[in-house]
Amino acid sequence: MSFTELIANVERSEKTLVVHNADPETVESVVERFADRNVRVVTASTASGPPDYAVLADGDRVLSTTSLSELVPDGGTPRTPAFAVRPYRPILDELDETTFSSYDAGRMLAASREIEDRAWRMGGTLYAGFQRYSRLEPQLSVYEQLGSRPDLDVTAFGYPDAELSDHGDAFDVVPDEGAEMRNVWFVAHDGGGDDDAKSALVAEEREPRRFYGFWTYDPATVDYVFDHVNDAFLGGSETRRTAGG
> Is the confidence at residue 12, as pLDDT, over 70?
yes
Asked if 123 and 228 sit in the same domain, the reply is yes
CA distance 138 to 50: 53
Mean pLDDT of the chain: 83
Asked if 135 and 211 sit in the same domain, the reply is yes
Residue-wise pLDDT tens digits, 228-245: 999 999 986 444 433 334
Quote the pLDDT of residue 68.
Answer: 79
Chosen domain end from 62, 95, 128: 95
> Is the confidence at residue 67, as pLDDT, over 60?
yes
Q: The CATH number of the domain where 196 resides is what?
A: 3.30.870.10
Asked if 185 and 200 sit in the same domain, the reply is yes
Asked if 43 and 121 sit in the same domain, the reply is no
Q: Please give the tally of structural domains in the chain.
A: 2
CA distance 157 to 128: 6
Q: The CATH number of the domain where 22 resides is what?
A: 3.40.30
Residue-wise pLDDT tens digits, 116-165: 999 999 999 999 999 999 999 999 999 999 999 999 999 999 999 999 99
The count of C-alpha atoms lying within 13 angstroms of the C-alpha of 158, restricted to the half-sphere facing its C-beta, is 23
Report in angstroms the alpha-carbon separations of 107 from 60, 102, 138, 220: 35, 10, 16, 25
What residues make up the domain containing 187?
99-233
Report in angstroms the alpha-carbon separations of 234 from 106, 141, 176, 193, 231: 28, 23, 9, 21, 6
Residues 6 or more apart whose Cβ sits within 8 Å of residue 14? 38, 39, 40
Chosen domain end from 80, 95, 110: 95
Asked if 76 and 166 sit in the same domain, the reply is no
Most confident of the ranges 16-25, 99-108, 137-146: 137-146
- Which of 97-101, 164-168, 182-186, 229-233 is predicted least confidently? 97-101
Chosen domain end from 95, 121, 148: 95
Between 193 and 51, whose confidence is greater? 193
Diameter of the chain measured on Cα atoms: 68
